[in-house]
Amino acid sequence: MRVLSLHVNGDRVELAAPDHWTLLEVLRYRLGLTGSKQGCDKGDCGACTVLVEGQPVLGCLTLAASCGEKPITTIEGLMPAHLAAGGTGPDPVQAAFDRCGALQCGFCQPGMILSARALLNRNAQPTRPEIRAALSGNLCRCTGYTQIVQAIELAIAESLGVEPCAPAWAPGTNPWKLAAPAEPGA
Amino acid sequence: MLRLPQFELAQPRTLDEACALLVEHGEEAQLVAGGTDLVPNMKHELFTPKVVISLAKVAELRGVRQEADGALVLGALTTLEALAQDERVRARAPALAQAAGLVAGPQLRRMGTLGGNVMLDTRCQWYNQTYFWRQALGFCLKKDGSACHVVAGGAKCVAAASNDTAPALLSLDAELVFHGPAGARRIAIDALYSADGIYNKTVRGEILVEVRVPATPAGHRGAYGKLRERGSIDFPLLGIAARLDLSADGTVASAALCAVALQARPLRLKKAAEVLLGTRPGTADFEAALQEAGALAQKQCHPLDNIPGDADYRREMVPVYVRRTLLAAAEGSGPVHHV
Ligand SMILES: Cc1cc2nc3c(=O)[nH]c(=O)nc-3n(C[C@H](O)[C@H](O)[C@H](O)COP(=O)(O)OP(=O)(O)OC[C@H]3O[C@@H](n4cnc5c(N)ncnc54)[C@H](O)[C@@H]3O)c2cc1C
Ligand code: FES
Ligand code: FES
């Protein structure tokens, strides 16, 4: 058992945990941050993805005692970070997942969103192959991925103020208007 | 939910401290770098060390540098992501950069290190399982048991070398610098691996400090080909590293072909590589040599049914991947990765 001083979602937290606990276990069972999911628990699925120093890593294979002071972001920290940066509402990637219906059971979603957020932070205009590559360590057993990629493309389009490109499954259409307020009388 | 067995974590800051801890704890210690191999293996109770010595804070294991003669010195802690993106590695040792870029998925490449990849444990369907699963079968030769479930009556463990960088490093004639109680020593990568699936290395109780890739000539071409079921995450079902050093007139002056995921040690396919000597990419001779190299490689490769992917299919893929990877090397393209 040792006392860890972690830097989670902008807060300093002190907690006691044994050396053999993973970061995922500490987040979920010491800090109550159950947004990070415990899927395979052995590196296969990406459900436990969190950002350490802004980059996606797997919480289930990271020893909590090795994290030191490095800043850690979980899904719970995204919206507060967005608000603190002057935004309104949830992180635009979260909002786009919501609008595109980019989930079914939702188990993969925190990891997917964090991988996507890290991608957009290092490259504001990734191509579709770059999006797919950045998400290739996150498995989804429900959606078939199409809406997930679409959601990220929607978030990109909105950040640039342009119309999103047509979804892969319906070329030539545009189901999502820009995030304008509800139309009058609608 | 897979819990880790209990251990104490030591986080030395220098190589000497790390070595002293290794000596102090001996068999009860395990080294860990990125943890992407050791942590799942500990969760499966394949290793239950009392002390885990993390190398992550040891500064001497960090960094990539190029020596005056063009040799690359790659610190053991270099992540696979950094290796895949490093311009010097991509230019001087393209097969290595490509192999590193195809390991696992993005999160694992960011966590996993070159040292951990070189020292990766061998893999087998009967071994990389939970304690409960393995116990139900009465365990196996590699861990806790006495029978091999792959080769009936087999007395020798055949778990497969599955590290993507190994064939690339073999093709580049890399050297490894280890640090142990007796000080530092340098060995050729060919001397590291043995054919024993239980532990396929000849070095124990020493720390890999750096990997040295000798300078490659101006005409150096290299590529890596990886067969797997999905485009990401999966270990190789077959990995082929190809090296062609072209002379000034464009003919192949030296060649190497190395393979992984076939047996306990990464293999050199010497006969297959030899047929390329003296041919010139783009000519009918070279095309014929590619065919012959594929056929010779297939003769030498005998995959077993102990990792995912049907063994017969993997064997049929050997000539295909040998030809395509050699062609990619000749063209200066790659990796070869058809999924
Ligand atoms: C889902 C999944 C998919 C994967 N896919 C692939 C794949 O496609 N290809 C592939 O090659 N690997 C794959 N891996 C394995 C692993 O991610 C990589 O091989 C990685 O490079 C291991 O490095 P590490 O630093 O995490 O190793 P660790 O787990 O830290 O260590 C691995 C072994 O090496 C020893 N070790 C580490 N560093 C040193 C050192 N400096 N000196 C001496 N011994 C040392 C450790 O004691 C341990 O026995 C996969 C892993 C997972 C979980
Ligand atoms: S829970 Fe960590 S990768 Fe599946
Ligand atoms: S929505 Fe169920 S796993 Fe992705």
Mean pLDDT computed over B2-6:
98
User: What is the pLDDT, as a whole number, of residue B190?
Assistant: 98
Phi, psi (degrees; rounded to nearest 5) at B116:
-65, -30
Query: B200 C-alpha vs ligand 1 centroid, how far in Å?
Result: 14
E strand or H helix that includes residue B174: none
Which residues in chain B are closer than 8 Å to A58, comparing Cβ atoms? Answer: 36, 107-108, 111
User: Quick check: is B268 in a domain?
Assistant: yes
What's the burial of A179, exposed, middle or buried (CB within 10 Å: 0-12/13-18/19+)?
middle
Can you tell me the distance from the alpha carbon of B120 to that of A137, in angstroms, rounded to the nearest whole number?
Answer: 20
Q: What is the pLDDT of residue B290?
A: 98
String of b and e for A129-158 (b: at least 16 CB within 10 Å)?
A: eebbbbbbbbbbeebebebbbbbbbbbbbb
Is residue A186 pLDDT above 80, yes or no? no
pLDDT band, very low/low/confident/very high, at A171 (cuts 50, 70, 90): confident
Question: Of ligand 2's atoms, which has the minimum distance to the CA of residue A40?
Answer: 4
Side chain identity, residue B303 = P
Task: Tell which phi-psi region holds residue B333, choosing left (phi > 0), alpha (psi between -120 and 50) or beta.
Answer: beta
**Tens digit of pLDDT for each residue in A52-111?**
999 999 999 999 999 999 999 999 999 999 999 999 999 999 999 999 999 999 999 999
Q: What is the DSSP letter of B195?
A: S
Q: Which residues of A touch B (CB under 8 A)?
A: 18-22, 38, 41-44, 46, 49, 55-58, 60-63, 65-66, 115, 133-134, 136-139
Average pLDDT, chain B: 97
pLDDT reading at B220 higher than 70? yes
Cβ within 8 Å of residue A137, ≥6 positions away: A46, A49, A56, A58, A115, B104, B105, B106, B107, B108, B232, B233
CATH number at residue B47: 3.30.43.10
Q: Which ligand is nearest to the CA of A147?
A: 3
Local confidence band at A177 (pLDDT 50, 70, 90 cut-offs): low
- Say whether B9 and A19 touch across the interface (CB within 8 A): yes
Q: Whose CA is nearest to atom 5 of ligand 1?
A: B104
Contact B107 A42 (CB under 8 A): no
Give phi and psi for A10, each to the nearest 5.
Answer: 85, -10
Best CA proximity match to A94, nearest among A62, A120, A71: A120
**Rounded distance, CA B177 to CA B179, Å?**
7
Residue where a domain stops, chosen among B36, B59, B82 = B59
Q: What would the mean pLDDT of B308-312 be, rounded to a whole number? A: 95
Q: Is residue B154 part of a domain?
A: no
pLDDT (tens digit, 9 = 90+) per residue, B225-259? 999 999 999 999 999 999 999 999 999 999 999 99
CATH architecture under which domain A77-160 falls: Orthogonal Bundle (1.10)
Residue A154 in contact with residue A99, Cβ under 8 Å? yes
Q: Which ligand is nearest to the CA of A140?
A: 3
**Cβ–Cβ of A49/B107 closer than 8 Å?**
yes
Beta strand pairing call for A11-17 and B220-227: unpaired
pLDDT band at A183 (very low <50, low <70, confident <90, very high): low
The beta-carbon neighbor of B107 closest among A18, A65, A137 is A137
Q: What SS3 state is found at B183?
A: strand
Provide the pLDDT confidence category of residue A149 given band limits of 50, 70 and 90: very high
pLDDT at A164: 82
Residue B221 in domain: no
- B139/B130 Cα distance (integer angstroms): 11
Instruction: Select from A2, A25, A42 the residue whose CB has the most chain B CBs within 10 Å, as the one to mutate to test that interface.
Output: A42
Tokens representing A137 are 């360590």
Determine if ligand 1 sits within 6 Å of the CB of residue B58: no
- Give how far A184 is from chain B: nearest CA, Å: 44
Q: CATH no. for residue B248?
A: 3.30.390.50
> Is the distance from CB of A131 to CB of A124 less than 8 angstroms?
no
CB atoms within 10 A of CB A175: 12
Q: List residues bridging with A13 in a β-sheet.
A: A6
Burial class (CB in 10 A: 0-12, 13-18, 19+), B33: buried
Residue with tokens 């190497």: B256
Judged against a pLDDT cut of 80, whether residue B339 lies above it is answered with: no
Contacts of A26 (CB under 8 A, 6+ apart): A4, A6, A15, A17, A64
How does pLDDT run across A57-73, given as a tens digit for each residue? 999 999 999 999 999 99
Cα A181 to averaged position of ligand 3 atoms, centre (Å)? 29
- Judged by CB atoms closer than 8 Å, whether chains meet at B2 and A41 is answered as yes
Rounded alpha-carbon distances, angstroms, from residue A181 to A85, A99, A161, B122, B260: 22, 13, 14, 57, 57
Closest C-alpha among B23, B15, B160 to residue B76: B15
Residue with the smallest CA separation from ligand 3 atom 4 is A140
ipTM of the complex: 0.96
Owning domain of residue B302: 228-331
Confidence of residue A119 (pLDDT cuts 50, 70, 90): very high
User: B79: which 2 tokens?
Assistant: 């992540």
pTM attached to this predicted model: 0.96
* Position with higher pLDDT, A144 vs A181: A144
Q: Which ligand is nearest to the CA of A151?
A: 3
Residue A170 has a pLDDT of: 74
| Average pLDDT of the segment spanning B290-317 | 97
| Beta-carbon separation of B54 and A66 below 8 A | yes
**Is the CATH code 3.10.20.30 the one for domain A2-74?**
yes
What percent of chain A is modeled with pLDDT above 70? 92
List CB contacts (< 8 A) between A53 and chain B.
none
Helix pair A146-160, A92-100: axis angle to 10 deg:
130
User: Mean pLDDT over residues B44-71, rounded?
Assistant: 98
Task: For residue B86, report the phi and psi dihedrals to the nearest 5 degrees.
Answer: -65, 125
Cβ of A39 below 6 Å from ligand 2:
yes
A50 lines ligand 2 (CB under 6 A): no
> Is it the case that residue B34 has pLDDT exceeding 70?
yes
Q: Which amino acid is at B39?
A: V
The answer to whether the Cβ–Cβ distance between B56 and A136 falls below 8 Å is: no
**Over pLDDT 90: what percentage of chain B?**
99
> Residue A178: pLDDT band by 50, 70, 90 thresholds?
low
Our CA dihedral for B319, B323, B329, B334, rounded to 10 degrees, sits at -80
B86's enclosing H/E stretch is: none
Asked if residue A52 lies in contact with residue A70, where contact means CB atoms within 8 angstroms, the answer is: yes
Structural domain count of chain B: 2
Give the mean model confidence (pLDDT) for residues B285-301.
98
Q: Which has the closest alpha carbon to B207: B77, B84, B42?
A: B77
DSSP characters over chain A: -EEEEEEETTEEEEEEE-TT-BHHHIIIIIS--TTS--SSSSSSS-TTEEEETTEEEEGGGSBGGG-TT-EEE-HHHHHHHHHHTT--SS-HHHHHHHHHT--SS-TTHHHHHHHHHHHHHH-SS--HHHHHHHTTT---SSS-SHHHHHHHHHHHHHHHTSPPPPPTTSTT------SPPPPTT-
Q: Which own/partner contact pairs does A84-89 have at CB distance under 8 Å and 24+ positions apart?
A: A84/A10
Alpha-carbon gap, residue B9 to A63, rounded angstroms: 9
Does residue B218 register a pLDDT over 60?
Answer: yes
CA dihedral A101, A104, A105, A107 (to 10 degrees): -60
